[in-house]
């Protein structure tokens, strides 16, 4: 009797939630999102320029598809939440505006970029209420990848990663009988210098693979500790992917003309992301085979 009585209540909630999405509410959402973008237009223009013109920030082109994927995956939870207008959204947007002004005044780009994201989140909360974005917090969390990594932090991560990748690649190539010299992050083959920074930039792979790992752990039904473990291990996957890409790239620069080597370098940059996704998938499959409890219990939400 209890199960029968609770079912109509749940079914009745969904139409009520969907019916709250009137044309007026959608119009307000569109207007507030437009105002949020206009308020931080220089930051959005910078993001678009970096995404289209810089290899190190090309991962930004994947952020909105990842956002849409994670939002779609949680559509049933979102459909059960009745949206309502909330002053919390205006408060969040105001914080974003303050961060934007502070960033311009102090010339700290990170503040401006975080303010840009906060304004968009505030616009959504103002129309839907806080429960709606909280139910899709994984999707909204992906928007942080629109924030460019500050140059100082980027270099602190990229340079050691490039040197490690170069060292491992040198060892592998010498193991298979290819004489390679190394100086820092520069490998030399047949008199041709190949800098890891130009052949396989470490930071580009770290951030791009972190985004891929982020999408993977929230699409798959995993326990929180398993998600954290995969995200923490993503730099190791980046090193593996770097080496996997760098070895053939160095050989191309040593034995083929530069145009063909450049083409191989560009194509392999995106192909490696698919390989990294396969590594993540294989890790989960291995954990299941070993019967490690990485999936949530039945009563826990995925």
End-of-domain residue from the set 123, 143, 163: 143
Q: In whole angstroms, how far apart are CA 275 and each of 121, 243, 245, 268, 281?
A: 33, 12, 10, 10, 10
Give yes or no: residues 10 and 94 share one domain: yes
Give yes or no: residues 122 and 162 share one domain: no
pLDDT for position 302: 47
Taking alpha carbons only, the member of 80, 82, 108 closest to residue 20 is 82
In a domain, 133, yes or no: yes
Taking alpha carbons only, the member of 252, 230, 274 closest to residue 169 is 252
The tens digit of pLDDT for each residue in 243-286 reads: 887 788 778 777 777 777 777 777 776 677 778 888 888 888 88
Share of the chain above pLDDT 90, in %: 28
pLDDT for position 290: 85
Give yes or no: residues 25 and 53 share one domain: yes
pLDDT at 62 over 50: yes
Give yes or no: residues 174 and 139 share one domain: no
In a domain, 300, yes or no: no
User: Which residues are 192's β-sheet partners?
Assistant: 189
Which run of H or E residues covers position 110? helix 109-128
CA angle 132, 142, 115 (to 5 degrees): 85
Give yes or no: residues 138 and 11 share one domain: yes
End-of-domain residue from the set 106, 125, 143: 143
Q: Model-level pTM?
A: 0.76
Alpha-carbon gap, residue 277 to 227, rounded angstroms: 14
Give yes or no: residues 65 and 185 share one domain: no
Give yes or no: residues 132 and 217 share one domain: no
In a domain, 11, yes or no: yes
**Mean per-residue pLDDT, 16-20:** 68
Give yes or no: residues 251 and 134 share one domain: no
CA dihedral 109, 111, 115, 117 (to 10 degrees): 70
Alpha-carbon gap, residue 145 to 113, rounded angstroms: 10
In a domain, 298, yes or no: no
Total tally of structural domains belonging to the chain: 2
The tens digit of pLDDT for each residue in 125-135 reads: 999 999 999 99
Domain that holds residue 272: 152-289
Give yes or no: residues 116 and 168 share one domain: no
Give yes or no: residues 94 and 174 share one domain: no
In a domain, 297, yes or no: no
Alpha-carbon gap, residue 124 to 34, rounded angstroms: 11
Taking the alpha carbons of 213, 214, 215, 220 in that order, is the dihedral positive or negative?
Answer: positive
In a domain, 296, yes or no: no
Alpha helices in 220-257 (DSSP H): 224-255
In a domain, 180, yes or no: yes
Give yes or no: residues 64 and 182 share one domain: no
Classify residue 270 as exposed, middle or buried by CB count within 10 Å of its CB (0-12, 13-18, 19+). exposed
pLDDT band at 5 (very low <50, low <70, confident <90, very high): very low
Which run of H or E residues covers position 34? helix 23-39
Kindly provide the b/e burial profile for residues 242-260, where b requires at least 16 CB atoms within 10 angstroms of the residue's own CB.
Answer: bbbbbbebbbbbbeeeeee
Of the ranges 55-69, 84-98, 185-199, which is most confident? Answer: 84-98
Give yes or no: residues 250 and 268 share one domain: yes
pLDDT band at 58 (very low <50, low <70, confident <90, very high): confident
End-of-domain residue from the set 96, 120, 143: 143
**Mean per-residue pLDDT, 18-22:** 76
Contact residues for 25 (Cβ-Cβ < 8 A; gap 6+): 83, 127
In a domain, 301, yes or no: no
């Amino acid at each position: 009797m209890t199960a029968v009585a609770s079912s109509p209540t749940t079914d009745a909630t969904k139409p009520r939630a969907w019916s709250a999405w009137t044309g007026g509410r959608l119009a307000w959402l569109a207007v507030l999102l437009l105002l949020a973008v206009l308020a931080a237009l220089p930051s959005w223009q910078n993001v678009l320029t970096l995404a289209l013109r810089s290899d190190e920030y090309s991962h930004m082109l994947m952020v909105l598809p990842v956002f849409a994927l994670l939002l779609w995956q949680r559509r049933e939870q979102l459909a059960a939440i009745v949206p309502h207008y909330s002053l919390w959204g205006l408060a969040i947007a105001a914080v974003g505006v303050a961060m934007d002004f502070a960033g311009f005044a102090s010339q700290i780009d990170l503040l401006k970029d975080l303010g840009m994201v906060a304004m968009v989140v505030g616009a959504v909360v103002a129309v839907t209420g806080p429960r709606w974005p909280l139910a899709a917090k994984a999707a909204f969390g992906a928007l942080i990848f629109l924030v460019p990594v500050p140059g100082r932090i980027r270099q602190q991560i990229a340079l050691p990663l490039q040197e490690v990748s170069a060292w491992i690649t040198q060892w592998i190539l010498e193991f298979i009988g290819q004489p390679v010299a190394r100086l820092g992050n520069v490998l030399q083959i047949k008199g041709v210098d190949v800098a890891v920074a130009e052949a396989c930039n470490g930071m580009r792979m770290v951030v791009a693979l972190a985004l891929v790992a982020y999408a993977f752990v929230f699409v798959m039904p995993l326990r929180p500790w398993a998600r954290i473990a995969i995200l923490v291990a993503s730099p190791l996957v980046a090193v593996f992917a770097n080496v996997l890409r760098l070895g053939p790239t160095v050989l191309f620069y040593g034995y083929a003309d530069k145009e063909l080597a450049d083409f191989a370098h560009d194509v392999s940059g995106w192909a490696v992301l698919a390989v990294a996704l396969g590594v993540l998938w294989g890790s989960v499959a291995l954990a299941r085979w070993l019967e490690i409890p990485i999936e949530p219990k039945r009563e826990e939400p995925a």
